[in-house]
Amino acid sequence: MKKIIALGGTITLDDISHLNQFTDIALIVDDLKEDLFQAAFPHDQIIDIGWYPEFCESGSFRISLIMAYDWEHPAFIDTAKSWPELDEAVTSALKKLEL
């Protein structure tokens, strides 16, 4: 999440950092919910991360970039099934920011 702060993001929700990223997803599934992380950026941009469906081992992280509070039409969406994939998806979302 250092990348987010470096780009001027303000973390407004962070329930993901305390999760053990070296543990199998199946072992932490009870902590995987729809609202895991959110960061706000200038120009009304939001990066949102959640697990869908929440508490479901077969789910996945969903990474969304929201522009101008238009939650119905995200500017970017990606999914990830693992921590490395999540990192890649966040990097891709950050590249879409209008800074």
Domain ranges of the chain: 2-95
* 45-49 contact pairs (CB < 8 A, 24+): 45/97, 45/98, 47/4, 47/9, 47/90, 47/93, 47/94, 49/16, 49/86, 49/90
pTM of the entire structure? 0.94
Residue 97 has pLDDT above 80, yes or no: yes
pLDDT digits (tens, 9 = 90+) for 8-28: 999 999 999 999 888 888 899
Q: Reply yes or no on whether the pLDDT at 99 is more than 90.
A: no
Lowest mean pLDDT among 21-25, 46-50, 53-57, 85-89: 21-25
Mean pLDDT of the chain: 95
> Does residue 1 have a pLDDT over 80?
no
